[in-house]
Structure 1
């Protein structure tokens, strides 16, 4: 039987309809209908939605849903974000017309004094509200900018407007703070502390500025936008608070450094661009006093292992011709004189180097009595000098021929290896402190004494109590060096080491010595009476249209250095031309490169060695006058020499000085095969290479190489009619040979030149540095007409002079001005050089042409000086200088001041010769500096606006 199926239970439920999603417009209609049903306007809805206080001024208590929804909207939880909404409101308002009864002007969107709640139309209301909001934010940013923590506070002086403790928090103005001044740092401060203001000012200055899309902004070359904005913001910050004065103070000091008129300070301080002149004056005075106090403390405070800092003091006379502003009785034109100095901190030296007792002990041994010309000659490193010539001959070729530039790096490394003697670290940044000027006259021994004591005792704190068995190095030009030696001699019999100035170590400075040799070379090789002789310097100067010196005993340094370097390059390149038998060196080596037959570096060095022995030594000069065919270093033969007829009537008479010099030539009988023109050229090449080596050694910072040249100049100065500098170098030679301990000698060599930039190739002589400082001070003195001992010069100008000179360059860098280039021009594109080379080539000046004599005969000052020193000069020098050493030996005994000669009556090198030596003084432009750029010796271009 079949089981029946269970019936299915069917239940009926009401069918549920799926609700269709509403569109944004439908939702919006429901909400708007609800607002209308509540008898509210949309404005009332938003007012009650966001109001914070009720009619009773009590905080509105929001229901939970109300509170959560407003919070979600404002904190960004709900989407879209509020930024989108406020932007839509503003955009909608811009498309709504103004009502006829609305007094709001469409042209004037913002009007001061009108509150946003009083404005009917949304567009201007939003603008006014935004302006007020941003104003409040910028006001708060301004408060941040003037806070001490921002770093814009500099205290110019000890005086304070708000009482003794009102500005205790302010940082004193120091040169470290001023030197660290940077518009880039100022811009960073503004961007961090006042970003809204920076956005506003940047948008105003640069119409393309946008901080939204992060696009790179093209900075203009002129009036760079970021510089203009930073300047405006810093000026406004100073306008808000005179304590936030770093920018204004640095700008005021810069105005002072460039000798701005007082009226500029008056106007600019009112505009908020600078502090007042009085504030600059007080700041500079405070910084000067602080620098000298720091120097004194550093020299007298015992540091680690009982050592103290030590300095070399370099000084030079300073003078200016002052005209009276108002002509009255007793007011006349006058020359004001003084002494300026700089303390250069000694680095890389053993403190035991300055042991005064050891110095006196070595001096009292009087080992200088063993001095002889032969000894100095044997002490000259001949191999080093040959390497110097080889390097310069190689350098001339590699720099002239573009395809040989591949050897530049190898040449630099090779030359540094074989030439280095006593190199100073290349990146050393010398630490200097200019000293306060005084009115001492160094031309008088008594004036020199006063000046030295002012520097040493008054400013550096060195006296009898603090001397502590230490000697101190004092350097200067030839006259200063001479006066210091006299000072020690005249006071040598005094009992104490301090009173007798035994602690003073005179050191001859290098730039004036180099200038003296430059004048010697020009005088020796100019050939004034032989303008058509191609071996003369005057002939080359005429081709290059260089000026003729007014005084051959004191040649303008810039003009003399230019013509010597130019003519030397022409001669050296002519040697290469003759060797390779070509008139176009550039094309010759380009062809060899195309043919894959370029000579190797080693082959070129070998050729340079041959050229050195043929053309750049004293022996080569002698061979030109007394040739031998079998000599392996014989010069290449040129075409036969055919003497030209001489027009006696047209030729100028030989000057008396020239006649005396010609009569002093070797004295050997004339050789019919002598080539005097070649001898003149060879002698010039040798002398010019020595001079250029001095320049390059200084720029490289290797006083060991400098010393090798100074030993040569002992002879050349003695033979050139300038024996006084020969005497100075003889004194220096005795010091280095016997009287300075090895440690003291090392300390001097490691600090004989300075580097004010901390960059390789930027070393200069200390006296050249002082010349640049003096030029600025002398220029200021002519404007002020005051004595150099007055407070304005002592405590405002002189101590800060180094920073003034540096600040001018730094301010140009701050505003992205390109520095004046010191680039070495391509030699093969130098028309002057090529013109001289052409004439040397055509005249075969550096080829041997037996019997050639074109009228001029240059004197070999080195050989002549050797003969002079061998006779009586060194004996006389020893006799004169050991007088002081005899007193040292009797020190503490019966010696008295009467044991010393009263004057230099026995000095055969008279005062008339001293007056002809190069000395500093008022000049139109400062002396040029020499630097090494890409290992090429470059002279700064003359700039009459330079200081």
Structure 2
């Protein structure tokens, strides 16, 4: 067994202290004198021994050494005159090329301290010196106190450490800021999205210059702040200290004036003051923004002097450069598409005008109305490459498939079931918006519009628009439209010689569309495709169509200004204190639509009151339902809405309201609520029957043939009551008004029938107004097909033809790819957000408004370079830069429209009026002098009576001329025409009489009839008994189209017969 080792006791170590003798430390000057060996002891005795040898003195005791003792020893023994001299030697900076006299330990000690390798660093020393109470001068010492942070006073004159340090730091930071701003002003960023050095224009001598682009003026204060903070943190910190408020020692951002934006403005002005070309950060965007806001020139000059913006001349040069760059890009894209045989862009044009007032009159100076034309090009989306092939479209026109169209077939293409469902949902929408009890159903209604009842919704995509330079042409004139058309094509880079087989899509209001269609007729015999507009496609835009229908609806339903009839809109407008349009033929769009929408909603609510059987009013009725927890669901309301439509908003309801027998036979579902018996008022005096012509419910021409139309309707529907109606007129021909009065035996309710027609007519307008923002072109097209009939029944016959042009184009004369392309780009979304689709002509009207605002300050025409190169091509960018500036400064975006106040009070007044007057109750024999025309029925009858046939005949004439011109060019067109109809027979006689000419015309109704006797064509006047030398086939065709004479071809020559009543002239051409 191993023996355990013995453990020794721990040894306690004891420190032995040796007592040393007391040491007398001599003063520092004595030490210095001793070290120089030039002075003697203070007492005259021998030199006092050094403290280093004190430990060798037997019997001496050393005191305990502390930091303060050590400092005292150093201060007494370091051998320098002052602490400053010691520090000056200690931190002696050796200059390059000089010998270094410092010892190694000296160098190492200083290096370690300055490099922060010691425990005590400069971060500890500087605050001690700066905050030391001995470093601050007394307040009474104004000279030294005022030297603190002095940027110019010599540092040698500042004795105290604290003001001296602050003055030195001020100059150091100032020099650093100066260098930093200079660097920012002289160098550009590598990121091309945030270029700083951009130029408004260049003369070509400078190389590698960066011209301004629209991406350079897209302002974002947040991005600029981040860039400045990253590029120079010191500069950002200094400006932040100046601008940012502090709370508890920490900076914070205020809501009213956030300091980062203020810093960006200050730094940008610093930079542009050092380099005027470094304006891309803020100065140039602000300059263009001031120009877009039409700021006064004095404001621009002051902002330019402050360095916040560029000068006005620089901004104008920049806008010209931007215009040239934008149009050059557009031309490149158009020409590239043309080379591929495709069309990627379309044009929307509109006429503009301004009244130029002369304030300094003189010879040749008069007030005038300056005309012009503006145009915007937009890029097409979602189209097939071969969609806009001209040969296919022309071949379809020549084939004349439109000739198979009838009034009945046109009527049957309307999706009436869909329109009924949409109308019912609109009625529910009105009820839900009025009653807060049903507010939870509002999202479901919107979803149903966008899903179940949607027909063709466009995807949400932001339209890419490029306005063109304006010109001073009058678009409503043939010559002016042609010149403007050519000018816009030149700006877009269209090459006519390469575009014969490419369709150009030209959009505009009704007048613009009508002018182009007229030009196509006039120029149809030109051999050149481009000059004849054969490859020009035209469509009438929707907003002007909607506005025209609003005028038609207003003139039909408003009635006399002081009408007592509750079905007249004038009575409702007077009750609600809404403005009645002064000119019912040309209403102010927004006030009129707002008034009519209010009235339509109120009448829908009154119908709901009757359908739901409310004893008092709708609010009380639904309050009771809430109390009993019996609120209807959306499905319940849809069932009730169908009853409401069948009873108050359909053609059958209109017919029923005019015949008491039908009312008595009607089912309970469609039977009107019986009102109180109607007491026929007494005979009116002659003065009461006279009203102003401006207060008639429709045009004089419409009222003149109202009786005949009603008789036709009676013959078709078998309603004797309608046939018994008549119109009473005034004695004087110029005074107009026609007061409607019923013949004896009338037992219907004219007031109720008027209300039913208004719910139908304006219900279609309401559907169109709601379908457009949603981008549902399918729903829009359904309403436009209805407008063919309503325009035919009104005085706006031109728009009937425009809507027929659109219908025949999409259904008969467009390939499936072309139809798809047109519908996919029918509406534009300028913001790229859901529910923000607009009509193309409305977008152009917005641009025209800004052009008009700019033109107020200019006296030049619209073809002036200022408009063409500075204003017009950039007008949409002006609107955008305003919004970007607001968002860039984190400002809440202002609405571009005035918010409409609520109309709850007006609605209550109208509901009480309709309830008291029993508007939607049947009162047999009620008629109060106001009769609304059933424009849909009248339009259907007019189309049957020859309006449609006349339209088809004009189309056939154009197709025949088109065939004659396309046959030599396009064999396919000739084959198509041969398949449709046989060639014309050649007459046996070489000279035709008038009778023979008319026989040819009767045999071939597509040819124009002879009717002119004197015509100037090709600088030759054709008069009776005048024979001209033979002309070629092209000249004969042109003569045919322009003078509308009878022409028959024989062996390559043409026989033309002109008539002048009884005088017949036979001309061999």
With the length of structure 1 as denominator, give the TM-score of the two structures.
Answer: 0.87
Tell me the equivalent position of 1:47. Answer: 88
Q: Residue 441 in 1 paired to residue 471 in 2?
A: no
Tell me the equivalent position of 2:935. Answer: 861
- DSSP-derived class of the 1:876 partner: helix
Q: Does the CA contact (< 8 Å) of 1:399 and 1:827 recur in 2?
A: no
RMSD: 3.3
Tell me the equivalent position of 2:131. Answer: 91
Q: Residue 279 in 1 paired to residue 314 in 2?
A: yes
Distance in 2, Cα, partners of 1:867 & 1:10: 131
Distance in 1, Cα, partners of 2:500 & 2:255: 59
Tell me the equivalent position of 1:911. Answer: none
- Superposed CA deviations along residues 418-469 of structure 1, whole A, max 9, x for unmatched, are 322221112x10011101111222222121111111111x112223332151
Q: Relative to 1, partners in 2 of residues 1:32 and 1:598: Cα closer, same or farther, differing over 3 Å?
A: farther
Residue among 222, 230, 238 paired with 1:192: 230
Q: Does the CA contact (< 8 Å) of 2:542 and 2:841 recur in 1?
A: yes
- DSSP-derived class of the 1:666 partner: helix
Q: Residue 352 in 1 paired to residue 492 in 2?
A: no
Q: How far did 1:816 drift? A: 3.3
Matches within 5 A, 1:570-589: 570-582=602-614, 583-586=616-619, 588-589=621-622
Q: Relative to 1, partners in 2 of residues 1:825 and 1:236: Cα closer, same or farther, differing over 3 Å?
A: closer
Q: Residue 296 in 1 paired to residue 337 in 2?
A: no
- DSSP-derived class of the 1:859 partner: coil
- Superposed CA deviations along residues 600-650 of structure 1, whole A, max 9, x for unmatched, are 221122222221222222222222223433335424414313326458347
Matches within 5 A, 1:693-704: 693-704=767-778
Q: Relative to 1, partners in 2 of residues 1:604 and 1:103: Cα closer, same or farther, differing over 3 Å?
A: closer
- DSSP-derived class of the 1:342 partner: strand
Q: Residue 205 in 1 paired to residue 243 in 2?
A: yes
Q: Does the CA contact (< 8 Å) of 2:680 and 2:926 recur in 1?
A: no
Tell me the equivalent position of 1:165. Answer: 206
- DSSP-derived class of the 1:351 partner: coil
Q: How far did 1:386 drift? A: 0.5
- DSSP-derived class of the 1:499 partner: helix
Q: Relative to 1, partners in 2 of residues 1:131 and 1:875: Cα closer, same or farther, differing over 3 Å?
A: same
Q: How far did 1:849 drift? A: 3.3
- Superposed CA deviations along residues 487-546 of structure 1, whole A, max 9, x for unmatched, are 111111122322321110011111111110011111111011553222121122223322
- DSSP-derived class of the 2:663 partner: coil
Q: Does the CA contact (< 8 Å) of 1:662 and 1:857 recur in 2?
A: no
- DSSP-derived class of the 1:120 partner: coil
Q: How far did 1:350 drift? A: 0.6
Tell me the equivalent position of 1:176. Answer: 215
Tell me the equivalent position of 1:631. Answer: 667
Tell me the equivalent position of 2:401. Answer: 367
Q: How far did 1:293 drift? A: 1.0
The count of residues paired between Structure 1 and Structure 2 equals 884
Q: How far did 1:73 drift? A: 4.6
Q: Does the CA contact (< 8 Å) of 2:147 and 2:164 recur in 1?
A: no
Q: Residue 230 in 1 paired to residue 264 in 2?
A: yes
Residue among 395, 407, 412 paired with 2:446: 412
Distance in 2, Cα, partners of 1:570 & 1:196: 66
Matches within 5 A, 1:436-835: 436-456=469-489, 458-467=490-499, 469-528=501-560, 530-582=562-614, 583-586=616-619, 588-626=621-659, 627-629=662-664, 630-643=666-679, 645-646=681-682, 648-649=684-685, 651=688, 653-654=690-691, 657-658=696-697, 659-660=703-704, 663=707, 666-667=710-711, 668=714, 669-670=720-721, 672-821=746-895, 830-835=904-909
Distance in 2, Cα, partners of 1:826 & 1:265: 35
- DSSP-derived class of the 2:211 partner: coil
Q: Residue 149 in 1 paired to residue 189 in 2?
A: yes
Tell me the equivalent position of 1:318. Answer: 352
Q: Relative to 1, partners in 2 of residues 1:52 and 1:313: Cα closer, same or farther, differing over 3 Å?
A: same
Matches within 5 A, 1:845-924: 845-891=919-965, 892=967, 894=1033, 896=1035, 897-902=1037-1042
Residue among 251, 255, 273 paired with 2:290: 255
Tell me the equivalent position of 1:219. Answer: 255
Distance in 1, Cα, partners of 2:12 & 2:252: 72
Q: How far did 1:208 drift? A: 2.4
Distance in 2, Cα, partners of 1:392 & 1:110: 74
Q: Relative to 1, partners in 2 of residues 1:904 and 1:478: Cα closer, same or farther, differing over 3 Å?
A: farther
Q: Does the CA contact (< 8 Å) of 1:678 and 1:848 recur in 2?
A: yes
Distance in 2, Cα, partners of 1:481 & 1:23: 113
Distance in 2, Cα, partners of 1:768 & 1:153: 37
Q: Does the CA contact (< 8 Å) of 2:199 and 2:277 recur in 1?
A: no
- DSSP-derived class of the 1:651 partner: helix
Q: Does the CA contact (< 8 Å) of 1:352 and 1:743 recur in 2?
A: yes
Distance in 2, Cα, partners of 1:249 & 1:12: 86
Q: Does the CA contact (< 8 Å) of 1:887 and 1:895 recur in 2?
A: no
Q: How far did 1:262 drift? A: 2.8
Q: Does the CA contact (< 8 Å) of 1:154 and 1:173 recur in 2?
A: no
Q: How far did 1:758 drift? A: 0.6
Q: Does the CA contact (< 8 Å) of 1:777 and 1:798 recur in 2?
A: yes
Q: Does the CA contact (< 8 Å) of 2:220 and 2:889 recur in 1?
A: no
Structure 1 stretch displaced more, 433-442 or 491-500:
491-500
**Residue segments in structure 1 that go unaligned for 5+ positions in a row:** 1-5, 907-947
Distance in 1, Cα, partners of 2:86 & 2:429: 88
Q: Residue 430 in 1 paired to residue 467 in 2?
A: no
Q: Does the CA contact (< 8 Å) of 1:489 and 1:900 recur in 2?
A: no
Q: Does the CA contact (< 8 Å) of 1:683 and 1:858 recur in 2?
A: yes
Q: Does the CA contact (< 8 Å) of 1:98 and 1:121 recur in 2?
A: no
Distance in 1, Cα, partners of 2:197 & 2:453: 49
- Superposed CA deviations along residues 541-564 of structure 1, whole A, max 9, x for unmatched, are 223322221211000011111112
Q: How far did 1:59 drift? A: 7.8
The structure whose Rg is larger is 2
Q: Relative to 1, partners in 2 of residues 1:13 and 1:288: Cα closer, same or farther, differing over 3 Å?
A: closer
Q: Does the CA contact (< 8 Å) of 1:324 and 1:333 recur in 2?
A: yes
- Superposed CA deviations along residues 696-747 of structure 1, whole A, max 9, x for unmatched, are 1211112221111111111111111111111111122211121111111111
Distance in 2, Cα, partners of 1:515 & 1:826: 20
Structure 1 stretch displaced more, 458-467 or 637-646:
637-646
Residue among 71, 92, 101 paired with 1:31: 71
Q: Relative to 1, partners in 2 of residues 1:736 and 1:261: Cα closer, same or farther, differing over 3 Å?
A: same
Structure with more contact order per residue of length (Cα contacts < 8 Å, sep ≥ 6): 1
With the length of structure 2 as denominator, give the TM-score of the two structures.
Answer: 0.77
Q: Does the CA contact (< 8 Å) of 2:643 and 2:670 recur in 1?
A: no
